[in-house]
Amino acid sequence: MNRNLRCRAIVLRTYPIGEIHKGVVLLTDSNGVVHTVAHGAASAKGKLRALAELFVEGDAALYHDPVKQSTKLQDLDNPIMHYGLRENLVKYYAASFWVELIAASHRGGGEHDEACYALLSDALAELEQAAEERTLELSIYLMWRYLGLLGLAPQLDRCGECGREAAREVPLFWALGGGELRCELCRGGAVGGAAGAFELTPPARAYLRRLGDVAARAEDLRTIRLHAEQARRLHALLAAGLQQALETRFKTLESGAAVLYGRR
């Protein structure tokens, strides 16, 4: 990283450092996830006090000290505060899950930094102004597109075991641990056996197919809708697949599942 860097950034996480400083984890559009220190951000008069908060997005000014191997957040100009995400509990838990997911798995320094930033920025902006009942659908959108960026999204129309093309009107099955989808005949050979494979119904596959279109944006979900129960099942399926593939557990989902799934 250059000593001085200006980039677009979204706050993924904050934590206290001493009495008046904050550690701030950022998703940037040029360097992936960057861990910074915001001096004075926890003090009453600190200029970054209101900016070093979850979901805030802006033009970040960073200074990297190569001797101390630390990065200072100097400013966050032209901020988008996303107050609406903090004022609605369902949206807050969804957005918190998104930033937890990216903070835990995206390292950056590669070709997908800009795409990852654009995906999260797009989803946060759409979530803030969307009706609450669209929250799970937007979360599905982010998870599926992110799986694609990670190279973990399975093919939707072919069995990964026998190679046969699957008709669009039949279900396929996604085994625990991720990997490719399997047909009815091959699902028993997946990790965990047949009982450990989640069913991906034809409507769910059709929905994901449209979300995976390279030109799709979060706003497109305004005209592509899922039934509430379908959204709950598909969200849980993708979340489980991500947890298995990344070998982690998402604390936000564990604490907020009742909120996310119970108010649709």
Reported as a single tens digit per residue, the pLDDT across 111-124 is 789 999 999 999 99
DSSP the chain: --SEEEEEEEEEEEEEETTTEEEEEEEETTTEEEEEEETTTTSTT-TTTTTSSTT-EEEEEEEEETTTTEEEEEEEEEEE--HHHHS-HHHHHHHHHHHHHHHHH---SSTTHHHHHHHHHHHHHHHHHS-GGGHHHHHHHHHHHHHHHHT-PPPSSB-TTT-PBPPTTS-EEEETT--SEE-TTTGGGSTT-GGGEEEE-HHHHHHHHHHTSTT--GGGGGT----HHHHHHHHHHHHHHHHHHHT---HHHHHHHHHHHH--
Least confident of 32-46, 113-127, 218-232: 218-232
Q: How many residues does the chain have?
A: 264
Of 174 and 116, the structure prediction assigns the larger pLDDT to 116
Of 127 and 212, the structure prediction assigns the larger pLDDT to 127
pLDDT of 212:
86
End-to-end C-alpha distance for the chain, whole angstroms: 43
pLDDT of 23:
97
Confidence class for position 193, pLDDT limits 50, 70, 90: very low
Distant-in-sequence, close-in-space partners of 234: CB < 8 Å, separation ≥ 6: 140, 204, 207, 208, 226
